[in-house]
Amino acid sequence: MGEPLRQPLEPHRPYPVTAKRKLSSEIWKHRKEYLAISPFYILFAVFGLFPILFSMYLSFQKWDGIGVMTFNGVNNYRFMLTDPEFWKAVGNTLLIWIYSTIPMLFLALIVAFLLNASFVKFRTFFRIGYFLPNVTSLVAVSIVFSTIFSNNYGLLNYILTLFGLDPVEWLSHTWGIQLAVSVMVIWRWVGYNAVIYLAGLQSIPSVLYEAAKIDGASGIQAFFRITIPNLRPIILFTVITSTIGGMQVFTEPQVLVGNDGGANGGGLTIVLYLYREAFINNYFGYGSAVGWGMFVLIALFSILNWKVVQGKGTQ
């Protein structure tokens, strides 16, 4: 379509043509390099970029997967924004993220500090032990924790009765389910984050601490003045990765309480909601819209996190 328009312009631009020729021969010369890096770009175009564009298109369609696709305007988005369950899923995801991330990173810092103490022996052994949960499959973890949090035969309830307390029906309450999911996340990721913090701690030059000691700074002062500022980029990294991970929690609640998220939908996270609406209820167009909703949320939270962690630094 654009060809006839472009052609008359060509003669007026002799210089770019030769540059183009040069460039194309340059490119030809490096064809092997391009070939070597091409698989990633081809795969990304087909399985990454195209689905994202396609999902934009799908999100404006009404489609159950079997019948014909019909244009639906912004109805999917309107439904999403007015669906109490969507907002419940958003709230649940945020709550689980808060319940899990804060204790997780805090515990990871403590473990890293303990491991960093100069006298600790068997450091490798401890690191492996703490890291082990991270390579265990989520499905397996969820099955094991479901027996720990069980209403009827759970280990946790047994421990409560040992202390003379009444057993709690964890999996019959919103907060109980969220707690169980959070505990799983914490258990799985403390070691991972601790290992990263430990590497960060070890990269802080000990000269800084020695200088502080000479200046008469206490251990706590050194912690806030030297350790935290030096760890900040690493803390930012862990906060961002846990945000992205936290927004995508799916397996734990799905295996623990099923596709509906259990009692009062306490375990209904955004990804679980997306999965249920798209692949169980077969609203494919709607599922794509929820995907975009999720994308916006993740972007917002990543920015927010970044601001918070950066902001603390400038104080």
Partner 1 sequence: MMRSKNVLLYAGLIVGLLISVFPFYWLIVMATRTTPEIYSFPPKLWFGTHLFDNIGRVFDSIDFFRSLLNTLFVAVTSTILVLFFDSLAGYTFAKFSFPGKKWLFVVLLATMMAPAQLSLVPSFVIMAKFGWVGSFKALIIPGMANAFGIFWIRQYAEESIPSELLDAGKIDGCGFFRLYWKISLPILRPALSFLGAFTFIGAWNDYLWPLIILSDERKFTLQIALASLNGIYSTDYSLVIAGTLLAVIPLIIMFLFISKQFISDIAAGAIKS
Partner 2 sequence: MIKTRKSIFWLLIVVFILGGCSSSSSNPEQKTLTLWYWNRALDDKLIQAVQTQFPDVRINAQKIGGDFKSKLKTTLAGGGSGPDIVAFNDWVTELFPSSDHFYDLYELGAKDIEPDYLDWKWQLGVTPEGKMIAMPIDTGPTALFYREDLFSKAGLPTDPEEVHKQMGTWEDYFKAGQKLQQAFGGKVKLTDSISNIYSQVNAQSDKIYFDKNDNFIGESPDSSMKKAWDLAVQASQMGVLANTNMFSSEWNASMNNGKIASFVSAVWHKQILMDAAPDTAGKWRVARAPGGDGNVGGSFLAIMKTSKYPKESFEVMKWLLNSENQVTAFKDINLFPSATKALDAPVMKEKEDFFGGQSTGEIFTESARNVKPAYFGSKFGNVNGIVSRELQSVALGKDPDTAWNDALKRVKKELLR
Of 10, 13, 19, 46, the residue at the interface with partner 1 (CB under 8 A) is: 46
Judged by CB under 8 A, which stretch of 70-78, 145-153, 206-214, 220-228 contacts partner 1? Answer: 145-153
Q: Which does 66 bind (CB under 5 to 8 A by kind): partner 2, partner 1, none?
A: partner 2
Q: Is 220 exposed, middle or buried (0-12, 13-18, 19+ CB in 10 A)?
A: exposed
Query: Can residue 47 be called a binding residue for partner 1 (CB under 8 A)?
Result: yes
Of 198, 239, 257, 268, the residue at the interface with partner 1 (CB under 8 A) is: 198
Judged by CB under 8 A, which stretch of 12-20, 96-104, 197-205, 210-218 contacts partner 1? Answer: 197-205
Round to whole Å and give the CA distance between 283 and 269. 17
Name the token pair of 217.
């700074």
Query: Can residue 165 be called a binding residue for partner 1 (CB under 8 A)?
Result: no
- Closest residue by Cα to residue 151 from 181, 180, 187: 180
Instruction: Tell me how far, at minimum, the Cβ of 98 lies from partner 2, in Å.
Output: 22
Q: Is 36 exposed, middle or buried (0-12, 13-18, 19+ CB in 10 A)?
A: exposed
Query: Can residue 209 be called a binding residue for partner 1 (CB under 8 A)?
Result: no
The single-letter code of the amino acid at 171 is L
Instruction: Tell me how far, at minimum, the Cβ of 172 lies from partner 2, in Å.
Output: 5
End-to-end CA distance of the chain: 58
Using the CB atoms, write b or e for 191-217: b if 16+ within 10 Å.
bbbbbbbbebbeeeeeeebeebeeeeb
For residue 61, the surrounding DSSP H or E stretch is strand 61-62
Q: Which does 169 bind (CB under 5 to 8 A by kind): partner 2, partner 1, none?
A: partner 2
Of 114, 165, 211, 303, the residue at the interface with partner 1 (CB under 8 A) is: 114
Instruction: Tell me how far, at minimum, the Cβ of 11 lies from partner 1, in Å.
Output: 26
Q: Give the per-residue SS3 of 235-278.
A: HHHHHHHHHHHHHCCCHHHHHHHCCCCCHHHCCCCHHHHHHHHH
Q: Which does 111 bind (CB under 5 to 8 A by kind): partner 1, partner 2, none?
A: partner 1
Round to whole Å and give the CA distance between 254 and 281. 15
Nearer to partner 2, 230 or 264 (CB): 264
Round to whole Å and give the CA distance between 44 and 37. 12
Query: Can residue 152 be called a binding residue for partner 2 (CB under 8 A)?
Result: yes
Nearer to partner 2, 14 or 67 (CB): 67
Which residues, 159 to 178, sit near partner 2 by CB under 8 A? 169, 171-174
Judged by CB under 8 A, which stretch of 8-16, 112-120, 277-285, 304-312 contacts partner 2? Answer: 277-285
Query: Can residue 67 be called a binding residue for partner 2 (CB under 8 A)?
Result: yes
Name the token pair of 68.
């014909």
Q: Note the residues at the interface with partner 2 (CB under 8 A).
A: 62, 64-67, 79, 82-84, 146-147, 150-153, 169, 171-174, 259-260, 263-265, 279-284, 286
